[in-house]
Each structure stands twice: as C-alpha cells, then as structure tokens.
Amino acid sequence: MSASALAIELAWWQQTVLRSVGMLVAVLIPAGTLVYVFLFKMMSFMQSRLGPMEAGPYGSMQLLAEVGKWIQKEDIVPWRADRRLFAMAPYIVVASVFLVLAAVPFGPDAWFTNLDVGIFYVLAVASISVIGILIAGWSSANKYSLLGGLRAAGQLIAYELPMVLAVVGVVIQAGTLNLQQIVAAQHEGEIFGIGAIGNPFIFTQLIGFFIFVVAMQAELAQAPFDMPIAESELVSGYMTEYSGMRFLLFFIAEFATAGAFAAVAATLFLGGWAVPGLPLDAGYMNVVGPIVVLVKIMLVAFLVFWVRFTYPRFREDQLQQLAWKILIPLSLVNILATMALKVAF
C-alpha cells in the first residue's frame, strides 16, 4: 500500500513492513478462500457430498488444520537428490506469485508498485515459476518427478504464448501497458455510446478473455491440463518427492497463482477494482477496491475450477495441439481484428 493512502508520513522501514504484511495478505487470503470455497466445498457439492465438516463450522478451519499437519511433518530429501536445488525450488515457485501480485492494483492508491510496463512485467515474472518447477523435477532424482517437470515445462511454455497474445488485444485497446491505466480505460470507456457500466474489455475482447482463461488453466496445471501432475501415471509429477513444509509451499503456490492470475484477468477484462458509477480517485475506493477485486477473482476462479472439476485430462499431444494449432492462431486473428477495429473507430 502506498503511504499516501493513509495520509500520514511513514518512515521507509514502516512502509516496508506494511507492504510486506499487505503482500502476505494479498497472497494468502485469495489462496485460502479459493481452497475452501472451490476445492473443499464446490468440488464436494458437484460430486454430491459435503466435503470437510468437522474442523470448525462447516469445516471452515480445515485449512488451518492441514497447514498445522504439514508443518509438523518430516522434511524428507531423497538420497541422490541435489539438496540445495531441491530445497530452493518451492521458494522460486512461491516467489513468482508474490512478484505477479506486486504489480496488480487494488485501488487508486492501494498498489504495491505502479509500473509503466505493468502487464509486461506480470507476464514476465509469471514465467519464473516454470524454472522452479523444472528445478524441482530435475533435482528430485526421481523418474516421475523428471517426467512431470519436463511435461510442465513443455506445457507452460506452450501456453505462455496464447496468454501473451491474448493480452496484446487488451493492450491495443487500452493503449497502455500500465495496469492502473487499463483499469481507468475500462472505467471511462463506453460501448456503442452507452457508458453506464464503462467498458469492461470482456465485451470487446471476449475471444481474448476465453483464450486467457484457457491458457491460465494450463499455466495452473488444473485438471484438463494436469499432465504435469497426472497422479494416475506420474504419482504427483514434480511434487512427488516433496513432503511437509515444502509440499505445503507448492500447494500454496498452486492456489495463490490461481488467485494472482484471476486477479490479473479481473484487472484486464472485468474492470479491475473500479466500480461503475463510483469515482475513480475517491479515497474510499482504497477500501472498496480490494473487496471488488476479491469478488472478481472469485468469479474468474469459479470458471477455472468449474472446468477443472468437470473434464478429464487431455493427452499430451492433444494438449500441445490445442495450444499451437487452435489458441495461438485464434489469438493472432484476435490481435489483427482488434488492430483493424482500433484504426477504424
């Protein structure tokens, strides 16, 4: 959070502490909410069962119990594993989530960094997790981990492209890379002369949104794209040898990344923290904004997890074909159409 939001001057270390706490909140609150609402409850209801019910009312404390359990467990490192890399890998994956969320705005002053090349930076640091996953797969000294790591690398690189190309459409339309200004462009824009709800780019960039969500699903390795985890053939992919705290880090990273990507999708396509009809620079938007973003995160994540709990896994070649033969040409056509329409109007 920037200091001006609080209207008091803070020392640099105080700002740093506030920012660190805010970052932890921004990473852990969406991740925990996603796990409880979607993984525990929505999945159970879709399978006509109740899910966790014992820890707290309706099992709401289940996640705390799980975290307590994982922290207590022994941290096992395989004998032939490359110890230093093995220990480092989960931190690299988690770090990429923190770096992504650092650029996402939550209000007029509620941001961690306000980069001019915001979305470019987000897409760049989101790819760092691939390195962590590849390191985890390689250093585990396990054939399942290695295969999982390689599959993850192949998949994440393949789906990075449609994701970037889908974002280009939004960038062309907004005319800026800065996430704050993309939010403003959606707030102030109008469709067919009607400006009552602004112009969330999901209306004009529907294809882009579709491609972004599919690519996001693949980046998160959620169900139809869970070849890297593929528990029926690869045990647990690159996470096979991890236990205790380090497994917990991978688990948090998975759902925090879901939250971070959903936040980026909400900012790019759903209008971000802005509420139609409310002024953009009002002070109270610093409080309302994060809540609006959380609601929009839940909307996007609902799509992702709904698809996850419905479809079975793609085969590796089908998965690559979907990326290279369908999504990338489609997103290129989308860019061309956006360019043409931008020039025409």
Is 84 a binding residue for other proteins by CB under 8 A? The answer is no
Lookup: tokens for 117:
């090349």
Is 321 a binding residue for other proteins by CB under 8 A? The answer is yes
Q: Between the CA of residue 48 and those of 44, 45, 271, what are the distances in Å?
A: 6, 5, 34
CB 327, min distance to other proteins, A: 13
Looking at the Cβ atoms of 130 and 158, the one nearer to other proteins is 158
Beta bridge partners of 191: 194
CB contact set of 275 (below 8 Å; sequence gap of 6+): 285, 288, 292
The stretch among 137-145, 170-178, 193-201, 314-322 that binds other proteins (CB under 8 A) is: 314-322
The stretch among 14-22, 47-55, 192-200, 293-301 that binds other proteins (CB under 8 A) is: 47-55
Handedness of CA 323, 329, 333, 339 (dihedral sign): positive
The stretch among 40-48, 107-115, 273-281, 327-335 that binds other proteins (CB under 8 A) is: 40-48
Q: Exposed, middle or buried by CB within 10 Å (0-12, 13-18, 19+), for 156?
A: buried
Is 309 a binding residue for other proteins by CB under 8 A? The answer is yes
Is 318 a binding residue for other proteins by CB under 8 A? The answer is yes
Looking at the Cβ atoms of 171 and 322, the one nearer to other proteins is 322
| Residue with the two structure tokens 């923190």 | 98
> Which of 42, 81, 183, 239 forms a contact with other proteins (CB under 8 A)?
42
Is 206 a binding residue for other proteins by CB under 8 A? The answer is no
The stretch among 1-9, 79-87, 106-114, 315-323 that binds other proteins (CB under 8 A) is: 315-323
Q: Between the CA of residue 109 and those of 2, 15, 26, 290, what are the distances in Å?
A: 6, 13, 15, 11
> Which of 306, 320, 332, 335 forms a contact with other proteins (CB under 8 A)?
306
Segment 85 to 104, residues that bind other proteins, using CB under 8 A: none
Give the chain's end-to-end CA distance (angstroms, integer). Answer: 38
Q: How far is CA 222 from the centre of its chain?
A: 12
Count the neighbouring beta carbons within 10 Å of the beta carbon of residue 9: 9
| CA atoms of 35 and 42, how far apart (whole Å) | 10
| CA atoms of 182 and 184, how far apart (whole Å) | 5
Q: Is 189 helix (H, G, I), strand (E, B) or coil?
A: coil
CB 49, min distance to other proteins, A: 4
Is 215 a binding residue for other proteins by CB under 8 A? The answer is no
Q: Is 97 helix (H, G, I), strand (E, B) or coil?
A: helix
CB 292, min distance to other proteins, A: 24
> Which of 16, 124, 299, 311 forms a contact with other proteins (CB under 8 A)?
311
CB contact set of 326 (below 8 Å; sequence gap of 6+): none
> Which of 7, 9, 49, 277 forms a contact with other proteins (CB under 8 A)?
49
Is 299 a binding residue for other proteins by CB under 8 A? The answer is no
The stretch among 97-105, 208-216, 269-277, 307-315 that binds other proteins (CB under 8 A) is: 307-315
> Which of 95, 280, 307, 339 forms a contact with other proteins (CB under 8 A)?
307
> Which of 11, 48, 57, 196 forms a contact with other proteins (CB under 8 A)?
48
Q: Exposed, middle or buried by CB within 10 Å (0-12, 13-18, 19+), for 43?
A: middle
User: What is the DSSP secondary structure assignment for residue 237, as one 8-state letter?
Assistant: G
Looking at the Cβ atoms of 215 and 264, the one nearer to other proteins is 215
CB 5, min distance to other proteins, A: 37
Is 310 a binding residue for other proteins by CB under 8 A? The answer is yes
CB 306, min distance to other proteins, A: 6
User: What is the DSSP secondary structure assignment for residue 314, as one 8-state letter?
Assistant: P
CB 50, min distance to other proteins, A: 5
What is 240-271 written as a DSSP string?
TT--HHHHHHHHHHHHHHHHHHHHHHHHHHS-
- Residues in the site for other proteins, rule: CB under 8 A? 42, 44-50, 53, 306-307, 309-311, 317-318, 321
